[in-house]
Amino acid sequence: MPNNGDLIILTNPAGKRYLRRANIHDDLHSNEGVLPMAEVMAAEYGAIVRTRQGYPFKLMRPTLSDLVQGVKRQTQIIYPKDIGYICVRLGVGNGRKIIEAGTGSGSLTIAFSWFSGENGRVCTYEARPEFHALARRNIEWAGVGHNVTMHNHDIAHGFLDTDADALFLDVRTPWEYLEHAVRAVKPGAMLGFLLPTVDQVNTLLLALERGPFDDFEVTEILVRRWKPVADRLRPEDRMIAHTGFLVFARVQEQCEDWNSLRKLGTRERKQEAARLERMETAGDEAAE
Ligand code: SAM
């Protein structure tokens, strides 16, 4: 049963969803008539409630997926399909400290806060005051944030937190902040990045290979939904084909003879030679 102030979802038979805050003085006025909130709040989640005209609505409790997609947006947000993998890969959880930039509309921050529990901490950075304020409202609206520290701060000046277990960057040029990132996390911490274009992934990989990083992963998560009809089971006609590439790396001390001791195939030997050549060129350029 919803309490006063809880977020609820009311859905009509045409599929229109109203994500509302339960307030006994705030009836839902829809095209199908007035839905008295006192009756909604006396019903169980999963029940049918009716407008004064007798029109049925389903009463549902929002999931985390509804919350991250229900925020007011002024930036691109991160979607549930990517959020799930990010959280697992970074090990977001109770007792862990996660740093994130930029906060944007706060979608990912809501998920980090949700998974971080009572003893976790999320430290999120946003350079633009208007997005910082918007994210604060969205996080409060979602009913999370008790474990979140929000900084209106440009990470070009470094992070204000240290000793994080993991760090995630959803900014346009993450390679510019790698040194700051390494100083903000514990040795061996996981770093994650979301980037929309291949060019950005390429630039990031070239920056990461200069170290001190290892365990690189570039992943794209595609979700193909199927029509849930038992006797005519088939994929949906349309799908979201691209949101962003996810890149992960681990902060790792570098070891000069590591690669020479690895067993490499012909292609890997060529790739390693090309990498060493890039490192040498970068070193020469830095010395000039
Ligand atoms: N992950 C967010 C979400 O799920 O709502 C969206 C992030 S949005 C795509 C990128 C944000 O990074 C923008 O709000 C931008 O202002 C912020 N940003 C870019 N560069 C930054 C920097 N150097 N320091 C802090 N924030 C930065």
CA distances from 222 to 37, 81, 199 (A): 39, 8, 20
What distance in Å separates the CA atoms of residue 137 and residue 146, rounded to the nearest whole number?
13
pLDDT digits (tens, 9 = 90+) for 270-282: 888 888 888 888 7
Contact residues for 258 (Cβ-Cβ < 8 A; gap 6+): none
CA distances from 37 to 12, 18, 40, 60 (A): 15, 13, 5, 14
pLDDT of 259 > 80? The answer is no
Q: Whose CA is nearest to atom 18 of ligand 1?
A: 102
pLDDT of 32 > 90? The answer is yes
pLDDT of 255 > 90? The answer is no
What distance in Å separates the CA atoms of residue 113 and residue 98, rounded to the nearest whole number?
9
Task: Give residue 107's identity as a one-letter amino acid code.
Answer: S
Strands 97-101 and 164-169 turn out to be parallel
**Is the CB of 125 within 6 Å of ligand 1?**
yes
| Distance of CA 259 from the midpoint of ligand 1 (Å) | 36
**Structural domains of the chain sorted by starting position, each given as residue range(s) with its CATH number in brackets:** 7-62 (3.10.330.20), 66-273 (3.40.50.150)
pLDDT of residue 33: 94
Ligand 1 probe mutation, 108, 160, 168, 171, most atoms within 8 A of CB: 171
What distance in Å separates the CA atoms of residue 179 and residue 175, rounded to the nearest whole number?
9
pLDDT digits (tens, 9 = 90+) for 188-242: 999 999 999 999 999 999 999 998 999 999 999 999 999 999 999 999 999 998 9
Ligand 1 probe mutation, 126, 137, 161, 172, most atoms within 8 A of CB: 126
**Is the CB of 134 within 6 Å of ligand 1?**
no
What distance in Å separates the CA atoms of residue 35 and residue 54, rounded to the nearest whole number?
9
> Which whole number is the average pLDDT over 99-128?
98
pLDDT of residue 280: 82
Contact residues for 91 (Cβ-Cβ < 8 A; gap 6+): 165, 166, 190
| Distance of CA 118 from the midpoint of ligand 1 (Å) | 26
pLDDT of 78 > 90? The answer is yes
pLDDT of residue 220: 97
Q: How many CB atoms lie within 10 A of CB 58?
A: 15
